[in-house]
Amino acid sequence: MVEDSSPQLDAVFHALADPTRRSLLRRLSQQPQSVGELAAPFALTLAGVSKHLKVLEAAGLVQRSVQGRTHLCSLDARPLHAGVEWMRYYEQFWNQRLDVLQSLLEAEDRAAAKSARHSPAKKRRKP
C-alpha cells in the first residue's frame, strides 16, 4: 500500500508544483550548476532562485555544496521515487478507466459501421 501522509512525499509534490522548480531540476539533471548559472535563463534575482532551490533542498531533490564563494547545486533524484510509487499505485485506476473508454469507443465504431452498411443510400435528384 502506498503511504498518503508522508512529509517527504508532501515536500516532493510541493517542490514539483512550481514550473520554475521543475525547470531547475531539468537543468540540474544535465549537470551540477552554480546558483548563478541556474539563475541565468530566468527573469529572477539570485535571491529568488535561491528561494526555489531551498524548497528543492527541503524536499531532498537538490544537494548544495559550497566551494569558496560558489554554491554548486546537484540533483538527487532519489526522493522522486516516493512520488513515482504513489502515482504508480493510482495508475491501475487510470488504466481500468481507459480500457473501459476504449471498449466503449470500439463498440460505438462497430455500431456506426453496422448502421452505415444497413441503411439505404439516399438518391440524389438532378435539378
Beta-ladder partners of 74: 63
Contacts of 36 (CB under 8 A, 6+ apart): 46, 70
Q: Give the integer Cα–Cα distance in Å for 11 and 16.
A: 9
Domain range summary for the chain, segments of one domain joined by +: 1-117
- pLDDT per residue as tens digits for the range 76-92: 999 999 888 888 888 88
Place of cell 525547470: 23
Using CA atoms, how far residue 84 sits from 29, 64, 77, 89, in Å, is: 17, 24, 11, 9
- pLDDT per residue as tens digits for the range 33-67: 999 999 999 988 899 999 999 999 999 999 999 98
pTM of the model: 0.69
What CATH topology corresponds to 1-117? Arc Repressor Mutant, subunit A (1.10.10)
